[in-house]
Amino acid sequence: MDNLPNSAPADKAKDLIDKTKNAITDGPVADLIDKVPASVKEASNKAITSVKEASDKAVTSVKEASDKTVSGFNSLSTTQKVVGGALVALGLTYLVAPKKKGKAKRKAAALDQLLLFVNDRTEGYKRAVAESKEADLRGYYELLVAQSQQFSSTLNSYLNKLGGERETGTTLKGKLYRKLMDAQAAVTGRDEKSILAANVFGERWAIRAYKKALRRKALKGEMRDAVKKQFSQSRKTYKHLKQLTAQQR
């Protein structure tokens, strides 16, 4: 009787990979990763509160000084008042400018965060192109790579207009997930069904990222329309990938 190869180590490795994938996508590790931006936001809010308190004290001091200035202003000639008023207007314009800059920063932050997921999308479909053996599916993935690159180019153009630098990075989740895909390929191989499953996961992440970006009130006008258009296309892709996955069964 021939000795059958012991598949226990491979089965255990596959089980470990599957559990780790679930942890990254929907488990406690995913929650921990998602909380990183929240902790940064909390620290930022504390800093903003401190600045506001200092600002309130400064406003009180300015008010006291302005009360003393009013009596002196009333004694100025009409010409002096006009010139002084113009200077005050310039000063107010300067004070308002940081608020506009703050809005620009919020827009840039929203785009930057979304771009990380869009770049993940690009990397995911590049991997699918390299791994797929079916010509039709490989051709579809190539179209999605080009689409993702166009998405990134559009968002980066808006980011540049806001004074931000071009974002070419990816998320920590995406990096971890791709490493797990490498491990899975080494242990169990990669068939078309598993490739499609990975793409479905990736597109789901992209959809969540678009939803989060669209909840940001800072995104308005043409920029918001562009994000909504990409979101709509991402949802269509997700639906089609699910259909392709069902056909593999």
**Neighbouring residues of 186: CB distance < 8 A, sequence distance ≥ 6:** none
Please list the alpha-helical segments (H only) found in the chain: 8-25, 28-74, 78-131, 135-161, 172-188, 192-214, 221-247
pTM given for the model: 0.63
Structural domains in the chain, CATH included, are: 102-247 (1.20.1260.10)
- Note the pLDDT of residue 179: 84
Q: What is the pLDDT of residue 74?
A: 56
pLDDT per residue as tens digits for the range 157-194: 999 999 989 999 999 888 888 888 888 777 767 889 99
What string of pLDDT tens digits covers the 249 residues of the chain?
444 444 555 565 556 555 565 555 565 555 555 555 444 444 444 544 454 454 445 434 434 544 454 455 456 555 554 445 544 444 434 333 434 346 678 888 999 999 999 999 999 999 999 999 999 999 999 999 999 999 999 999 999 999 989 999 999 888 888 888 888 777 767 889 999 999 999 999 999 999 999 999 889 999 999 999 999 999 999 999 999 999 986
pLDDT at 236: 98
In tens, the pLDDT along 202-222 reads: 999 999 999 999 999 889 999
- Virtual torsion, Cα 46, 49, 50, 56, nearest 10 deg: 180
End-to-end CA gap in the chain: 35
φ and ψ at 167, to 5 degrees?
-100, 120
